[in-house]
Amino acid sequence: MAWWRFCYAMLAAVIFALVVYLFFHQAVEAGQTKEVSQGLNIPRGPLYVFMGLSCTLSAAAAALIAFTGSLRDEDGEQAKEAL
């Protein structure tokens, strides 16, 4: 089942990487057109960058799980502590 976990984790990493690309691309476009929110007139570019950075962390975490495996100890039991 390790290869199955690897495939799913890599698929998640690729999807997150695609979302990262789309957010950063949208951030560039929002900066060029000076896009703002309707109600508060807040620039949307920095928000897109923040969401892109969040997805970057998620993509890195998924890739790390793909290559190192899930959080298990030597006996094969899942680790009870959260990161």
Burial class (CB in 10 A: 0-12, 13-18, 19+), 78: exposed
Per residue in 24-74, pLDDT tens?
A: 999 999 999 999 999 999 999 999 999 999 999 999 999 998 888 765 556
Report d(CA 45, CA 19) in Å as an integer. 15
Position with higher pLDDT, 63 vs 76: 63
Q: Band the pLDDT of 81: cuts 50, 70, 90.
A: low
Give how far Cα 74 sits from Cα of 4, 22, 82, Å: 20, 40, 17
pLDDT higher than 60, residue 2: yes
Contacts of 57 (CB under 8 A, 6+ apart): none
pLDDT higher than 90, residue 15: yes
Q: What is the pTM of this model?
A: 0.75
Instruction: Specify the pLDDT at position 78.
Output: 58
